Amino acid sequence: MLQIKDLQVHYGGIHALRGISLEVPDGKIISLIGANGAGKSTTLKAIMGLVPKTSGTILYDKKDITESKTKDIVKDGLILTPEGRRVFPDLTVDENITLGAYVRKDKDGIAKDRKWVFELFPRLEERKWQAAGTLSGGEQQMLAVARSLMGRPKLLMMDEPSLGLAPLIVKNIFGIIKEINQAGVNVLLIEQNAKAALEISDYGYVMETGVVTLSGTGKDLLVNDRVKKAYLGE
């Protein structure tokens, strides 16, 4: 379980996180929703040790990782799939996938997970030898997720996995996120597509300008008037 307490982050004079507290219990899908600039990406980056924190604590399985280095956080099983499908365009799909396992030494486990990600994304197996830069946007997004899974995350954090994808592929991606969670991976999800995110989430947090203003089960937030108006376009 991930526990964040009173996390604050400044970028120079910008107070991006003003005391965020949230939890990701084992076995669950948790989503963060909120407008552009609310601080969602910053929250994930702070967890991964990618931005300096002003104050607050981050515990993972009761271990204090607030000041841990990113590479040690990855070794503890926390993995971030960043926004914008950052695949290596000149490497093949297969090479990108192999790179996702770079911190691991368990050859058998790696082979097993490679088989699993190709089962999750048959498209990628068909395009194994193709340069990643020649894939469609949706395929690159799948590759970014597949590569993250090769690190064998205990907690997978995803920043806008559905951004810019066609509706049919969006549906597919959310189905796969559920499948990944059912395979035992905890998920912390950031989404502009609040409806689809809340539909698969056990619990959600709404962020506005650096604070959590509302939280509840995915079901409750989907019928909450404020959420409906501000984020579901109803």
| Residues of this chain that bind ligand ATP (CB under 6 A) | 11, 14, 16, 34, 36-42
CB of 35 to ligand ATP, least distance (A): 7
d(CA 212, CA 137): 31
Which residue number, 37 or 56, has a Cβ lying nearer to ligand ATP?
Answer: 37
CB of 40 to ligand ATP, least distance (A): 4
**Which residues have C-beta within 8 Å of that of residue 10, sequence separation ≥ 6?**
16, 54
CB of 116 to ligand ATP, least distance (A): 29
CB of 2 to ligand ATP, least distance (A): 18
Which residue number, 7 or 78, has a Cβ lying nearer to ligand ATP?
Answer: 7
Which residue number, 109 or 137, has a Cβ lying nearer to ligand ATP?
Answer: 137
Which residue number, 44 or 74, has a Cβ lying nearer to ligand ATP?
Answer: 44
Cβ–Cβ under 8 Å, residues 144 and 85: yes
For 179, phi then psi, to 5°, come to -65, -40
* Alpha helix ranges (H) inside 60-208: 70-75, 93-99, 107-120, 122-126, 137-149, 167-182, 194-200
First to last CA, the chain: 34
